Structure 1
């Protein structure tokens, strides 16, 4: 980094005091919370949307990285099904963009934090995926995100790749909001029960990113998901209970909801790398949902 985050004698400053952060994709659901978390930790934060930084334009990226200590890449093509027919466009954002950011970060002496996804795995496991498990994406989205990880590792030695999954938050459309809205409109809902993952609040992921940087975690790949696991059906039960809806809920299988892009059946990620770096993983998904629900659902 260009600036120290060490605490001085006497009253300890905020952990990121004196550092300048650039958050790319800052208008998104996760980006908004990363901006807030970094600022609360004392960083000087520049929030950049697409109008400020075009990740597909190397000149735009290089200009934005001048004087930056940490760049967090929250920009991504996340329309999973659309990527099946528009993989080239998704590749430009999810792979070429991270390559530009990583190359510029290395040139500027900045640390890059790149947010990736469980979709880089095939979803066929029956135990949590380790950080060094082989990637085997089954969708265009997964392929482009895996390529983005490769580019960041190749271009920026000082990188933190943070994979996440099943994100929800107050700052954008997400599964809990959709389920709560549908429950208010319908008498019965049918939800898949054969896809298992870790619902993760964007506030918690933003906090984890800040803690990783503040801890000066070694360069490498980390998993930023809540602990525990649940199916979409099980998560929906909790959402409806929290929202006070008595809507009938029925489990079903993935075959009943065929989509253009295959969904991983098993999206549970392990957290050994975090523990090895001395960084506490995010807590249990159910407990974190209780904390998140008022903000996410506007209760």
Structure 2
């Protein structure tokens, strides 16, 4: 869903976008609120209901003031499917930011108190890719491993050696993560059978686009070497997902300025480090300058947990930040 507010008297040449994601997660909500999910097994455990409420609130404010705002356009991007990391990609491909000069989003952050925002220049969230690996060996009786090509032993060596990529091939000041999260092999009903095949799955993350580009080949080099040493074959499928989320310095500085004026300087904090989580807002930032900032929710429970609650307390700060950032960007564009 995309809305456009034409502001001011006459047509300005600047377009500023505000983005809010709308989708939920497959988690059963355990917190009792008046707005608790009515769909079993589905809840806004990442606070996207709060993101939508902030964007709608900013839309109401900006629309009410459009006659006195600087000339320009404010695009309101209500995005689905962030959690599947495809929603932004599809919207960008549809041209939603083709006429946009800058874009901003907020994300609820439980470790910050309501009324506080967190900002950071440059990379703020990692890329998120994955690979699936099938190891083809030779099965046999567990009593005679010498007559087999054991894919479990081979897979274990691969898992262990993948850690050397981050430890010894990537600069220690360029964070990266390779986490094997799936390992399937064997026959559940028997422990004396060495299987002929094993399957592995992993998530791969980086904070540098350059490091990200090198990881698929480095990973396959480890896989190929170990499989060759043990006479196994393999099938390797690497899938690129969300890019690195990189905040534009100029837009981040604008958010800082607005935060100090609207919330007070003591309520604008510098985020000490990026996170290795991912956010598909990165797709917009590959096309236009923009930034995301953290909005404190002060919830004692973390994101993606059954009791997380965005709550009403952050709304005043979030709506004020989004509306004033849009207004000030159009003012600077005059």
TM-score, with length taken from structure 1: 0.24
Larger Rg: 2
Question: Which structure's residues are more often strand, by fraction?
Answer: 2
TM-score, with length taken from structure 2: 0.22
Question: Which structure's residues are more often helix, by fraction?
Answer: 1
- Structure with the bigger RCO (C-alpha within 8 Å, sep 6+) is 2
